[in-house]
Copies of this chain bind each other. A is one copy, B any other.
Amino acid sequence: MAFPKEERPVAALLVPDILALLDDSPGDVAAETEELHPANLADIAEALPRERLPEFMRALPAARAADVLEYLDEELRSQLLEEMTARQAAELVSQMTPDDRTDALEDLEEERADEILSEISGDARGETERLLAYEPDTAGGLMTTEVVSVPGDASVDAALESVRAAARAGRKEAMYAIYALDGAGRLRGVFSLRELLAAPPGSRVTDIAWQDVVSVAPSADREEVARLTSKYDLVAVPVLDAHGRLLGAVTVDDVIDAIVEEQTEDVQRLGAVEPLEAPYFQASFWSIARKRAGWLVLLFVAELLTATAMARYEATLAGALVLVFFVPLIISSGGNSGSQSATLITRALAVGDVELRDALRVLTREGMQGLALGAFLGVFGFARVLLGGESSSVAMVVGVTLLAVVVTGTLVGATLPLVFTRLGFDPAIASSPFVASFVDVAGILIYFSFAAWLLS
């Protein structure tokens, strides 16, 4: 998916003004930028000359500076947190939402994160340490602990007062959902602010709360959280411990980020690259080389079989050298149709349009696609060879091989993702290059054995 880069008019236009303010009256920076969305403030911060950035951050009230940190480029954020004193850093991160605070500290060297943590006071420190204990890409690692809950047996009026008090206490996280808990802190129901406001006077929370609540354990991976968010149109997914007690919630903005990152991993795998786990320019040269070399060597070794296969048919080759001219054409046609099949099936598996039990249906369909497309290309190939002045026998070999190789391609391309899924692996491992290697060897064998048979 393409998130086209915007023009950044906001940041670009305002940078000169901000710099002027920093020079002449830094005390006015806060007021001048008061109405800006934090994401735009972060754009400005990213557009400023790097050496003036700390100055800019200091000119903002701590709460606003914390907002900026929530939206700032991660690399830049880590640099700033390293440069300032541990106490300054602690003051800022304590004002971030718990989930963003956790992310910010996770990106730092463990020593530095500990330094900052030790400067955070009491409750907030404990809360942060608990969140840091979870694996980053799980519900526990993504969640915020700032959630609003009320006793399940409360009256609607009391609940409203409770919510109002929480809102006034300056909680930053939006109140997407209100959770109804029992005496032991277990989740009993959920309702929205809208439903609370619409409730008739005198009713109780149990009257308005939905009991069929979608929830996850802290260990749930982010794909599961994303699936539930998408299926149930949620804006927050509650996270419960083994006893059903409410620990926190993963909000939809973090789910969207998770979806985009998961997509990046999948796309990279489909291109035969081990997931970089970092933006392109932030990943180091040698880490990228390593993640590519793995696949390149594996595919190279597999492809060596084509050399061995061709060597076996040396006699046939020598007898009709023209056969050789069409080798790239044949193996690329198999590889291309295989790529298409692998792409379609991998994606369909990923979004749930195809399930393992559909395997037979899929293979039948893909096999027939292979026949249709292979016959089409086979005719082209046959014609090309004849037009090149070769014998109709050679043309026949090329044409029929094309058909066979395209069918092989579609079947292999469809089978590999299904097999990987069955074995519990990510189907995206069945990348285009992977499928092509399989099909190349098969293609060489089909081609030359058919040629040897027909032309002898």
Contacts and interface: CB of A to CB of B under 8 A. Distances in A.
User: How many copies of this chain does one complex carry?
Assistant: 2
Contact of A299 (B168, B253, B336, B346): B336
A210 B285 CA distance: 43
Q: Interface of chain A, helix or strand or loop or mixed?
A: helix
B2 A212 contact: no
A300 to B, nearest CB: 6
A1 B223 contact: yes
A324 B309 CA distance: 11
Given A273-B340, A299-B332, A337-B292, A347 B264 contact: yes
Interface in A239-263: 252-253, 255-257, 259-260, 262-263
Contact of A212 (B36, B328, B350, B380): B36
Interface string A146-182: 0000000000000010011001101100111000000
Interface in A343-380: 343-355, 358, 361-362, 365, 368-369, 372-373, 376-377, 380
A262 B306 CA distance: 37
A388 B314 CA distance: 14
Nearest to A254: B233
Given A279-B353, A281-B353, A272 B336 contact: yes
A376 B290 CA distance: 11
Interface stretch (A48-56, A107-115, A193-201): A193-201
Contacts of A270: 267, 270-271, 343
A336 B296 contact: yes
Interface stretch (A20-28, A86-94, A119-127, A432-440): A432-440
Contact of A380 (B224, B297, B350): B297
A83 interface: no
A130 interface: no
Interface string A397-412: 0000000001000000
A13 interface: no
Contact of A295 (B335, B336, B431, B440): B336
Contacts of A264: 347, 351
A4 B36 contact: no
B262 A328 contact: no
A229 interface: yes
B266 A232 contact: no
A112 to B, nearest CB: 25
Contact of A328 (B285, B303, B384): B303
A197 B163 contact: yes
Nearest to A432: B432
Contacts of A226: 1, 3
Nearest first, the 4 closest Cβ-Cβ pairs linking A and B are A271-B343, A1-B262, A167-B198, A233-B253
29 contacts: A2-B428, A5-B355, A160-B197, A174-B192, A193-B194, A264-B351, A267-B343, A268-B347, A270-B343, A271-B339, A279-B348, A279-B353, A280-B344, A280-B348, A289-B372, A292-B340, A292-B373, A293-B376, A296-B373, A297-B376, A299-B333, A300-B332, A307-B388, A310-B325, A310-B328, A314-B321, A324-B324, A339-B431, A432-B433
